[in-house]
Amino acid sequence: MIELYTSPTPNGWKASITLEELEIPYEVTPIRLDKLDQKAEWFLKLNPNGRIPVIVDHDDGDFAVFESGAIMVYLAEKAGRLLPSDERGRSLVMQWLMFQMGGIGPMQGQANVFFRYAPEKIQYAIDRYQNETRRLYEVLDTRLSDHEWLAGDYSIADIANWSWVSIHGWAGVETDDLAHLSRWKDAIKERPAVQRGRAVPEAPEPTEENAAGIAEQGKKILI
């Protein structure tokens, strides 16, 4: 049994969608980021970085894994799916996974901070992070113009990038004119496992109507 410590955020969905796609049984322990559960002493023993997601593999001596990309690789290797074992196939998936981990995640995350949560409106920072996120989306769009999926067959690289792109509106970044990205985004959204994983843990989808309440909660993390 895998235990998943998570919250309704893109990095959390990467883990829950992967578990759903791989049909690995798991239990969810929801973490209240606004209450700073993730900074509690017991949680820091699982992840010294104080962030979600984390998994604990109770079938393997309670082995804990943090960092969403590392969790995805761990689970894919355990199940023998969504990450090829041949050198080139594996490298391609890792390239597009790292593209998300080092690019889209940090840049879109900062776009969220300056567009939604920052106490003062700093236009330079908003533009910088929204433009960089959009540039990274264009890189995905170009890749998807002649590839059905990012790296060979559907893989953890698609799940990782999709989990962030799926919430582009929260960062204030448009994708409607990116035809290839939209085709890929819609195809992944249709997958039942993705729909199940995206609903873990249950939470309202951010919209402009509930934005103020969600932003208030988000601000509590920025200590």
Ligand X SMILES: N[C@@H](CCC(=O)N[C@@H](CS)C(=O)NCC(=O)O)C(=O)O
- Please report, as ranges, the residues that interact with ligand X according to CB under 6 A: 9-11, 33, 38, 50-52, 67-69, 105, 221
User: CA-to-CA distance for 192 and 87, rounded, in angstroms?
Assistant: 30
User: CA-to-CA distance for 111 and 98, rounded, in angstroms?
Assistant: 19
Q: Which CB sits closer to ligand X, 66 or 178?
A: 66
Q: Which CB sits closer to ligand X, 163 or 175?
A: 163
Q: Report, in Å, the least distance between residue 69 CB and ligand X.
A: 6
Q: In this structure, which long-range contacts are made by residues 38-46, counting pairs with CB atoms below 8 Å and at least 24 apart in sequence?
A: 43/5, 46/5
Q: Report, in Å, the least distance between residue 36 CB and ligand X.
A: 7
Q: Which CB sits closer to ligand X, 10 or 197?
A: 10
Q: Report, in Å, the least distance between residue 179 CB and ligand X.
A: 28
Distances (CA, A) of 164 to 65, 99, 105, 119: 21, 12, 7, 24
Distances (CA, A) of 125 to 106, 107, 173, 208, 218: 13, 11, 14, 21, 18
Q: Report, in Å, the least distance between residue 145 CB and ligand X.
A: 27
Q: Which CB sits closer to ligand X, 33 or 76?
A: 33
Q: Which CB sits closer to ligand X, 211 or 221?
A: 221
Q: Which CB sits closer to ligand X, 70 or 179?
A: 70
Q: Report, in Å, the least distance between residue 22 CB and ligand X.
A: 18
Q: In this structure, which long-range contacts are made by residues 147-152, counting pairs with CB atoms below 8 Å and at least 24 apart in sequence?
A: 148/184, 149/184, 150/96, 150/184, 151/89, 151/92, 151/93, 151/95, 151/96, 152/84, 152/89, 152/92, 152/93
Q: Report, in Å, the least distance between residue 70 CB and ligand X.
A: 8
User: CA-to-CA distance for 12 and 159, rounded, in angstroms?
Assistant: 11
